[in-house]
Structure 1
């Protein structure tokens, strides 16, 4: 077990007399203090709440034009979006005053001020493994699901609470991209077979980046974390067209219905759905939908055992029709809407909504640019403004409900 190391000169005489002997100095059963070789070590366990769902932070209702809506009732247009339900635990952090921040929901401890250096993916892994901060030496690079748990979709730009978490550059720029531990199993345009996922805490996206790029242009930042693993699923096939995840407390539709919709219609479809004897289905928010991404799978996976949509094989994903397959691929899958809105950039209306790409996250030439499992946004309807990526305003729906 990794440890928190504190020098305590006042115990020097004890350590000399009782070298390699454990002395209890703490009433907390979870913490053990020992003195060895003139050094006192406090072993501290963190309790991780795996896989407690965290709210996105979005509390405002929006229409297709990005205008705010004061209130909605069931049956109204745009009812059922993220701010309708406010699902998940409210984000709650403690500034420990020592360069670390504890997430009081997940139990994870985070590096408050990340290094301003740019790293390749492997350099980022090594940096975290070697990091000693505030007495702790068990830091590691976070998984994608851990890193996305601290994303804050209240206003965006940045998509992180800067009261607790510093930006690496100290500025709100699109370059605030942070590596995760998830190496991409597929092939991207930029990284080839050497790509890894990261979270952009200014633009909000999850994308795969070239893992070997370094320097101020290609390199990315990293924010270390410590604690046991957060973000594992425990799926169960209910035998009625639904899948339960007992770790998140969410129930999912096992299949999509093969129909693509714009955002408004996707919200209405989810609200009117009945499946497995339940009528409280809804469109998932962006954090909820990202929980069921399986980052060990991709349509472009180099290992045949991992080829497929980025989701557990218990689920089904509709293949894109042959007339919309990008770049001649015959095994691609679609994007899935979330109920969470987005502005294209700071200060702009919320014309856009977030989606998760369970197939290739393509560029405007139909190539896998950001990786299966990417989280991006696009315009909510056909008459919306042009997006940064190839527009796809008709997407699939993966129904969700909260297990009561």
Structure 2
């Protein structure tokens, strides 16, 4: 080979190597840039509950219901919200294809106090990301799956912390409770139980019950549900990353309706004004005519939970935050609860529930905009809690205080 040919070949080889090196550096920079960016979050795209079956008052499945039939208007008659869809990223993370949030797939098996949970998320490095955080209650509830229950979670993507399906699968949210509970006193934080489906304010301290010197002692074993077997302050953590999801944007339409521009739902500004059982609540919603609209319905459990405002409680320690757990643009009918305290009621949803796996769907979910009380009328679960009641007086009892007659907050699609 001639000398100039050797020189040319060498130049070409060096050029190729330089291009390869630059390409690698560019790829590394691209990856770093991608990891530095938070996922794009679709605020506030509501996901469906996953419930596709209809149920009668005794929890038996109904094959079909026609408009005008008794019990028409349940969750499964409308199936509102985006169908839940996820992507397993293969690195211990799950992306919600609707909300855009990225989730930790396998939670740590250890229990955490609320402060420890915050610190755990801040220090977590997973999937090449280090911007993890403790999810809000609305974010955590967005992945709840009501298609079957026990667990109320799609375990193909979201693994449980324990080895079995137990009531101890209680996950902290970032929402501290502004009121006072029996267990936590003035130091409680909301969490989602992804086995039982409940939202409850759990004690957030690491010793004692709350921080008040005159705290009420803990209830006897078996009363009020969901007391863990070990540390009563230890809960699980499922970290999330992405912009905040679940921010409401309310507009008062001046005609007795409120539009949430974030979810695209229109709500009745006032509630039903009287409590009723579940069958009557469904009928009330189906037959309502408000502001010229006749397509009102009973909200499903994710829709109704979407308008909870966790900065309010009837027992708030800050006087400016005393009231029902909802934006003040709405009105709630005041009640006197079982303990004789001024309070606000529970509100029915069209979503059915069962008490344990394999049992009929005797119950329907409610959202407590006032205190979520135990049998003595004491705030056991927190204003903003989500639980269930039996659908009619004389129906099967669940756990804690039961109310057969609850209020209705109408909803319709604004878009």
TM-score, reference length from structure 1: 0.89
CA distance in 1 between counterparts of 2:166 and 2:121 reads 23
Q: Does the alignment pair 1:292 with 2:298?
A: no
Q: 2:134 aligns with which of 141, 154, 173?
A: 141
Gaps of 5+ in 1: 1-12, 35-39
1:145-203, Cα deviation, whole Å (9 max, x unpaired): 00000000000000000000100113100010000000000000000000000000000
Shift of 1:403: 1.2
Q: Does the alignment pair 1:346 with 2:354?
A: no
Could you tell me which residue of structure 1 aligns to residue 285 of structure 2?
A: 270
SS of corresponding position for 2:398: coil
1:198-255, Cα deviation, whole Å (9 max, x unpaired): 0000000000000014754431001000001100000000000000001001000000
Residues 187 and 384 of structure 1: is their aligned pair in 2 closer, same or farther, counting only changes over 3 Å? same
Q: Is the 8 A contact 2:349 2:366 kept in 1?
A: yes
Q: Does the alignment pair 1:398 with 2:409?
A: yes
1:253-309, Cα deviation, whole Å (9 max, x unpaired): 000131111000000000000101100000000000000000000000000010000
Could you tell me which residue of structure 2 aligns to residue 162 of structure 1?
A: 155
Q: Does the alignment pair 1:240 with 2:255?
A: yes
SS of corresponding position for 1:305: helix
SS of corresponding position for 2:334: coil
Q: 2:381 aligns with which of 370, 377, 381?
A: 370
1:317-365, Cα deviation, whole Å (9 max, x unpaired): 0001x4xx332312x0000000000011100000000000000000111
Could you tell me which residue of structure 2 aligns to residue 226 of structure 1?
A: 241
Q: 2:27 aligns with which of 25, 28, 40?
A: 25
CA distance in 1 between counterparts of 2:269 and 2:240 reads 33
Could you tell me which residue of structure 2 aligns to residue 254 of structure 1?
A: 269
Q: Is the 8 A contact 2:171 2:192 kept in 1?
A: yes
TM-score, reference length from structure 2: 0.87
CA distance in 1 between counterparts of 2:48 and 2:273 reads 28
SS of corresponding position for 2:116: helix
RMSD: 1.9
CA distance in 1 between counterparts of 2:31 and 2:280 reads 59
Could you tell me which residue of structure 2 aligns to residue 314 of structure 1?
A: 329
Equivalences for residues 69-148 of structure 1 within 5 A: 69-148=62-141
Shift of 1:41: 8.0
CA distance in 1 between counterparts of 2:307 and 2:206 reads 29
CA distance in 2 between counterparts of 1:173 and 1:132 reads 28
CA distance in 2 between counterparts of 1:257 and 1:346 reads 33
SS of corresponding position for 1:376: strand
Gaps of 5+ in 2: 1-16, 208-229
CA distance in 1 between counterparts of 2:31 and 2:58 reads 59
CA distance in 2 between counterparts of 1:291 and 1:23 reads 45
